[in-house]
Amino acid sequence: MSGDLPFFIGIAASTEELTPEIAGSKAAELWRMSRLGLNVPPAFVLPTTLCEPVNRQDPKALAALDHGLWIGVE
């Protein structure tokens, strides 16, 4: 699983497992709920390794975020 792109929850394209270490506990549990067929609103989650660089406006992290969001809407 790539640590440099956002993850999507509640959409069919989201097949890889999200763990608390990768995405945080709340996102991991929402992902599990969506896998069980529960109605979870679509969302995107930044992996823990991408949060800090995005917050400090790192150009590579912002480009990865932008790229990942475009992938999610295709």
CB contact set of 35 (below 8 Å; sequence gap of 6+): none
Tens digits of residue pLDDT in 42-61: 888 888 888 889 999 999 98
Give the pTM. 0.68
4 neighbors 49 (Cβ within 8 angstroms): yes
Alpha-carbon distance of 13 to 52, in angstroms, equals 26
Tens digits of residue pLDDT in 12-27: 655 678 889 888 899 8
Look at residue 40 and tell me whether its pLDDT is greater than 90: no
Show the beta-strand stretches assigned E in 1-74: 7-9, 43-45
- Two tokens, residue 17: 């497992």
Look at residue 2 and tell me whether its pLDDT is greater than 50: no
